[in-house]
Structure 1
Amino acid sequence: MKNTISFMSQELFSEFSQITKEAWLNQVTKDLKGKNFSETLIWQSLEGFDIYPYYAQEDLKNLPIKAIQQAQKSKNSASWENRSLIKYINAKDTNLLIINYLKKGIDAITIDFGNYDPTEHDLLRLLNNIKLSETPIYFKTHYKETLLTNLKKFIHYQLKGGFATDILTKYFSSESTIIDKDAWESTKKNVIQTNEYPAFRAVTVESHVFHNAGANAVQELAFTLSSAVTYLDKITDLGCTIEQIIPKIEFSISIGTNYFVEIAKLRALRYLWSKILKSYNCSLVTDNYFLHCQTSSFYDAKLSPYTNMLRATTEAMSATMGGCDSLTVLAYDSILALETKSELGERIAKNVSILMKEEAHLDKTNDPAAGSYYIESLTYKLATAAWDLFLKVENMGGILQAFDQGFIQSEIEQSYQAKVKSLQNDKIMVGVNKFRVEAENIDNIPKSVVSNKNILQNRRISEVYE
């Protein structure tokens, strides 16, 4: 029976001739009956390149496919952490919240301390019944050095997790922040102090500050990589080796609604990072690459917040298909100025990740996008454009100098305005510029305040219509 099926399959497929892209194009041109092919079917991306409706094997002929796919193998497992973000309230209530999340399927927690100094609070109470050697805890705080010193006083086993704070993000988004030598020295100490904890990462490089200001995928890639290179250069200048720093870095990337572009963005990031590491002669440590993804708040809508569920789901799928190691799904109503967390919103956010594992089985295959003619082509286009922009920033002296000269702000502002224009023209964003619910949640929405155009603003694209 098996041989018969094999024979039948061969006979069936032998009846079809191989279709070239040229033959497809000729047929489509004929079917369009005089309509212009480029104007009708080619999509111009916000990143500045053409997206065709059809890709074939011949589109991959001159691309470094082997190198791109090899870079994806730095991901050791097809699965990912289901990580929740919790804002610190007090030691007791935050602890109860963490315990509750862990019981309901969350694997890791990020605690955002805001302006609180965690060392002035009861860390023993906060971490009661939480074993950091089993549950990764990420601390979002600028008091990293003193926090680690205090943790070592009562934790005498291997820590998992890390510091979820990017000092460059605060510089790009705050009018008063200055990054002096002491800040870099403190970061260096974090790297050295955590060397004894291989699963605890001391440096986070974020793309959120660029993404939420309106950057496109190319800019997000280029500026994030330039930020990472700044960390490498500053910390090695202070005496650390590349081999000490690389395993301590976590990339934290925002994932937007453009499904295939976001998959390609993450694959391009791995490819470009491996390219950068080779320039530092440290390709042997590429396996230590750790990628955290977070669903975007930039595309959240206020008038019909339930539509944010759909956005978060596709964003989460892009993150997992693109190869994230850790995933944070924001609640659909997190944009609303609610005094307390919505139980429904948090439950759905948590379950998005669980469903993708337990029902969609997206955790079973490493780099599932590999071999897709479209995504492989898109990955290379994004990587090439991002690399050119990255080199431009480096030739200006690095991202800090480029930011001080206003280049980063200007580039992102142009991208943001292009996104606004696309919505004002023909692009549909459900619940924002079509199928609106006018009276819903109108009093619960915080507005962005643009006070200084010299810094990067935390924006939402839908605010244009709100």
Structure 2
Amino acid sequence: MTNLFDEFDGVSAKAWKQKIQVDLKGADYNDTLIWQSPEGIHVKPFYHPDDFKSAFEPIPGQPQQWEIVQQVFIDDVAIANKLALDAMDRGAEALLLIAENSFEIEPMFTGFDFSEATLYFDLRFLNLEFQRKLQTYLSEKQACVFYNIDLLGNLARSGNWYTNLKQDHEILDNLFSEFSSEAILGVDMALYQNAGAHSVQQLAYGLAHCNEYLHHFSNKKDLLVNFKVAVGNNYFFEIAKIRALRKLYSVLAQEFGMNPKCNILAVPSQRNKTIYDYNVNMLRTTTECMSAVLGGANAVSNLPYDAIYHKSNEFGERISRNQLLILKSESYFDAVSNPADGTYYIEALTDQLAEAALALFKEIEANGGFLKMLKQGTIQKKIKESAQKEQKMFEEGKLALLGTNKYPNTADRMKDTIELFPFVKNKPRKTLIEPIIERRLAEPLEKERLDNEN
């Protein structure tokens, strides 16, 4: 084959910039075409091989394939079992099982083919006896499981330990001594995104959060950590964020002589979801799932378009699952395992996010580590500051949510449709630390509209 481009001389980055400056007719190149993101990342109008001093390194732990995950909430075990089996029959490849209390284990998995699906747990309690039974049962079934026990994540979210610092750690230590080869630990980075942290903060806080566990379990050289990551609507930044997380974790794990690969479960952000013009949520979650796949998530669990105001329902769950099925089976998002590799813009973003996050991580460690700064309230304060800046942009119209603060349908009525309270709930209680609160951008505007509905 003949490469027709060989007939043309290469054009350097310097020549491109000179041409652009001529076309600007005196306007300043930096002020006109280079913009700065809220994270402080400078984005150029074009990227060129001259921008890179060396060849691109592969992303550590990049998966060869990704799994479609269906969420199932375990309340009534018989219903949950039926939903899980139905989801698997309809195309799900993994399950995210959520429970607030212990449940009957065998009835939950009646008829389940453990060789066909990965299991992710989000257990919002910590009970040693139940956890032992669960892990023993699933070990005997040779199931692929991520238990996602996250003591620090629970502290950050609720303001309290499950029981207390000593007892929580004793339970975790017991589980590691009895089930040393299993994926027990999880790091919930989604909390930071949904509370308003920008991408660099999410990466740095997630890494510092994980570092507390690596210090404690430094003798577990084959440790496999699962990160839960919320994906926002800044398409290319979100692709780069997931890639940067793998790079950063690899560097950190190697310092401990541990397995440099991690597992990533991606979910769409709740921060930009709305109750008005709710169908736009499907567009938002589609691009967010695309970012997750292209960034290299191991598994993607979609958010139903009506999840913030409707109880779980078959239609919403089916649509969310079908969005992923279309991406995988009809849009060929499973055809290449590393499509972002070598893309100048995304490679540059990946490096910039990783470098900025590493600098912030080092600052956290120099100040005593993540847990200490969480107890001091510093992490909460920084996330609040980032969230307030984003909220101001939304209120000024600089950050648009279609159907909400941009082109709203004034005839839209939602008051009689809402089944779940879609706003931050106030629960006065005594806490050890200030909890990190997840809050959607549209909440103040939606409250006003609901109050004014006829």
* TM-score (norm. length: structure 2): 0.90
The aligned counterpart of 2:449 is none
SS of match in other structure, 1:143: coil
CA contact (8 A) 1:333 1:342 kept: no
The aligned counterpart of 2:376 is 405
Alignment of 1:23-34 (within 5 A): 23-34=15-26
Shift of the alpha carbon at 1:242? Answer: 2.8
Residues of 1 paired with 2:33 and 2:115: CA distance?
A: 53
SS of match in other structure, 1:458: coil
Q: 2:407 aligns with which of 412, 419, 435?
A: 435
SS of match in other structure, 1:461: coil
Structure 1 segments unaligned to the other structure (5+ residues): 1-5
1:243 aligns with 2:221: yes
Residues of 1 paired with 2:406 and 2:256: CA distance?
A: 49
Q: 2:204 aligns with which of 205, 214, 222?
A: 222
1:166 aligns with 2:150: yes
The aligned counterpart of 2:450 is none
1:206 aligns with 2:188: yes
CA contact (8 A) 1:21 1:56 kept: yes
Alignment of 1:369-384 (within 5 A): 369-384=340-355
Q: 2:324 aligns with which of 353, 358, 361?
A: 353
Alpha carbons of 1:277 and 1:165: their partners in 2 closer, same or farther (altered >3 Å)? closer
1:292 aligns with 2:265: yes
Shift of the alpha carbon at 1:353? Answer: 1.7
1:50 aligns with 2:23: no
Shift of the alpha carbon at 1:442? Answer: 4.0
CA offsets, 1:58-77, max 9 Å, x none? 11126x832xx2xx2423x4
Q: 2:90 aligns with which of 92, 104, 109?
A: 104
Question: Mean alpha-carbon deviation: is it higher for 424-433 or for 180-189?
Answer: 424-433
Alignment of 1:386-401 (within 5 A): 386-401=357-372
Residues of 2 paired with 1:17 and 1:440: CA distance?
A: 60
CA contact (8 A) 1:144 1:163 kept: no
SS of match in other structure, 1:243: coil
1:455 aligns with 2:429: no
Residues of 2 paired with 1:145 and 1:256: CA distance?
A: 35
Residues of 1 paired with 2:425 and 2:80: CA distance?
A: 30
Residues of 1 paired with 2:330 and 2:153: CA distance?
A: 36
Alpha carbons of 1:226 and 1:179: their partners in 2 closer, same or farther (altered >3 Å)? farther
* Paired residue type of 1:441: M
1:74 aligns with 2:66: no
CA offsets, 1:375-411, max 9 Å, x none? 1110010000000110111111111101112210121
The aligned counterpart of 1:3 is none
CA-atom RMSD in angstroms: 2.2
Question: Mean alpha-carbon deviation: is it higher for 23-32 or for 208-217?
Answer: 23-32
Alpha carbons of 1:162 and 1:301: their partners in 2 closer, same or farther (altered >3 Å)? same
SS of match in other structure, 1:242: coil
Residues of 2 paired with 1:192 and 1:410: CA distance?
A: 37
Counting matched residue pairs gives 434
1:139 aligns with 2:121: yes
The aligned counterpart of 2:295 is 322
Alpha carbons of 1:451 and 1:126: their partners in 2 closer, same or farther (altered >3 Å)? closer
SS of match in other structure, 1:162: strand
CA contact (8 A) 2:60 2:260 kept: no
Alignment of 1:329-340 (within 5 A): 329-336=302-309, 338-339=310-311
SS of match in other structure, 1:65: coil
SS of match in other structure, 1:164: strand
* Paired residue type of 2:334: D
CA contact (8 A) 1:450 1:457 kept: no
Residues of 2 paired with 1:436 and 1:14: CA distance?
A: 52
* Paired residue type of 1:321: L
Residues of 2 paired with 1:134 and 1:14: CA distance?
A: 49
Question: Mean alpha-carbon deviation: is it higher for 376-385 or for 123-132?
Answer: 123-132
CA contact (8 A) 1:261 1:378 kept: yes
Shift of the alpha carbon at 1:425? Answer: 4.4
Residues of 2 paired with 1:276 and 1:151: CA distance?
A: 31
Alpha carbons of 1:110 and 1:271: their partners in 2 closer, same or farther (altered >3 Å)? same
The aligned counterpart of 1:175 is 159
CA contact (8 A) 1:82 1:326 kept: yes
CA contact (8 A) 2:68 2:301 kept: yes
CA offsets, 1:299-347, max 9 Å, x none? 11111111111111111111111111111011011011x24x2333211
Question: Mean alpha-carbon deviation: is it higher for 105-114 or for 359-368?
Answer: 359-368
Residues of 2 paired with 1:226 and 1:383: CA distance?
A: 13
Question: Among the aligned pairs, what percent are the same residue?
Answer: 29
Shift of the alpha carbon at 1:275? Answer: 0.7
Alpha carbons of 1:393 and 1:152: their partners in 2 closer, same or farther (altered >3 Å)? closer
Residues of 2 paired with 1:34 and 1:442: CA distance?
A: 54
Alpha carbons of 1:152 and 1:52: their partners in 2 closer, same or farther (altered >3 Å)? closer
CA contact (8 A) 1:185 1:235 kept: no
CA contact (8 A) 1:163 1:202 kept: yes
Alpha carbons of 1:255 and 1:149: their partners in 2 closer, same or farther (altered >3 Å)? same
* Paired residue type of 1:242: K
SS of match in other structure, 2:187: strand
Q: 1:233 aligns with which of 215, 218, 222?
A: 215
CA contact (8 A) 2:306 2:316 kept: yes
Shift of the alpha carbon at 1:162? Answer: 2.5
